Structure 1
Amino acid sequence: MNSIQNKDYLYQVALSLIPKLGPSIYKKIILHCDSAEAFFNLPRGKLERIQGIGPKLLAYRKQRTSYLTEAEKIIDAANQHEIQIHCFMEDNYPGRLKAIPDSPPILFSRGNLSLNPERTVGIVGTRKATKYGKNVTQQITEELSRFQPTIISGLAYGIDVEAHRAAIARNLPTIGVMGSDLNTIYPSIHKKIAEQMKENGGLLTEYKLGTEMSPGNFPQRNRIIAGLADALVVVEAAKKGGALITAEIAYSYNREVFAVPGNLQSKYSEGCNDLIRNMKAGIYMSSKEIVDSLSWNLNSGESLAQQVFPDTSLLDPLETKILERIFDKKEVEVNWLSHDLNLPISTLAVKLLNLEFLGFVKAFPGKKYQWLHNKQ
Structure 2
Amino acid sequence: MSQKELLYTLALQRTPNLGDTSAKKLLRAVGSAEAIFKEKKHNLLKVDGIGSFKLKDLNENQQLAEAEAELRFIETEKIQHSYFLDKTYPERLKHCLDGPILFFHSGNIDLKHKKIISIVGTRKVTTYGTTFCKDLIEELAPLNPVIVSGFAYGVDITAHKAAMDNGLQTVACLAHGLNQIYPKVHKKYVVKVEENGGFITEFWSDDPFDRNNFLKRNRIIAGLSEATIVIESAEKGGSLVTADIANSYNREVFAVPGRSTDKQSQGCNNLIKTQQAHLLNSAADLIYHLGWELEKKDEKPKQTQLFVELTDEEKKVYRFLKEKEKELLDIIALECQIPTFKAATILLNMELKGVVQPLPGKLFQIV
TM over 0.5: yes
CA distance in 2, matches of 1:111, 1:125: 24
Question: Does residue 1:84 correspond to 2:80, yes or no?
Answer: yes
Using the alignment, how far apart are the partners of 2:154 and 2:272 within structure 1?
21
Q: Is 1:275 the equivalent of 2:237?
A: no
- Output the CA distance in 1 between the equivalents of 2:352 and 2:140: 31
Query: 1:295 deviation in Å?
Result: 0.9
2:182 paired residue among 179, 186, 208: 186
1:28 pairs with 2:25: yes
| 8 Å CA contact 2:255, 2:280 repeated in 1 | yes
2:206 corresponding residue in structure 1: 210
Structure 1 unpaired stretches of 5+:
301-313
AA aligned opposite 2:71 = I
Amino acid at match of 2:233: A
Deviation by residue 1:181-201 (Cα, 9 ceiling, x = unmatched): 112211110111122110011
Q: Secondary structure at the match of 1:216?
A: helix
Change (3 A) 1:371 1:74: farther
Identify if the C-alpha distance between structure 1 residues 218 and 361 changes in structure 2 by more than 3 Å, giving closer, same or farther.
Answer: farther
Partner of 1:303: none
The answer to whether the 8 A contact 2:219-2:246 is kept is yes
Question: How many percent identity over aligned positions?
Answer: 39
Mapped to 2, the partners of 1:57 and 1:149 lie a distance apart of 39
Please state how far the C-alpha of 1:354 moved relative to its aligned partner: 7.5
Contact 1:4–1:72 (CA under 8 A) maintained in structure 2: no
- Change beyond 3 A, Cα 1:96–1:67: same
Match of 2:191 among 158, 173, 195: 195
Q: Distance in 2 between matches of 1:14 and 1:325?
A: 40
SS at match of 2:263: coil
Query: TM-score if structure 2 supplies the norm length?
Result: 0.84
Question: Conserved in 2, the CA contact under 8 Å of 1:141 and 1:166?
Answer: yes
| Residue 119, structure 1, aligned to residue 106, structure 2 | no
Change (3 A) 1:360 1:198: farther
Provide the secondary structure at the position in 1 that maps to 2:241: helix
Judged with a 3 Å threshold, the aligned counterparts in structure 2 of structure 1 residues 361 and 146 are, in CA distance, closer, same or farther, namely farther
- Comparing 357-366 and 271-280, the one that deviates more: 357-366
Aligned residue pairs total 354
Compute the TM-score of the two structures, normalised by the length of structure 1: 0.82
Question: What letter corresponds to residue 227 of structure 2 in structure 1?
Answer: A
Cα shift at 1:72:
4.4
Question: CA separation of 1:369/1:113 partners in 2, compared to 1, >3 Å: closer, same or farther?
Answer: same
- 1:322-370 Cα distance to aligned partner (Å, 9 max, x none): 9669968974453x6656776545665566568778999765577x555
1 CA distance for matches of 2:217 and 2:320?
32
| Superposed displacement of residue 135, structure 1 | 0.5
- Is the contact made by 1:118 and 1:329 (CA closer than 8 Å) also made in structure 2? no
Q: Which runs of 5+ in 2 are unaligned?
A: 297-309
Q: How does 1:1-376 map to 2 (within 5 A)?
A: 4-5=2-3, 7-42=4-39, 44-55=41-52, 57-58=54-55, 63-68=59-64, 70-298=66-294, 331-334=327-330, 343-345=338-340, 348=343, 363=358, 368-369=362-363
Deviation at 1:162?
0.3
- The alignment's C-alpha RMSD in Å is 3.2
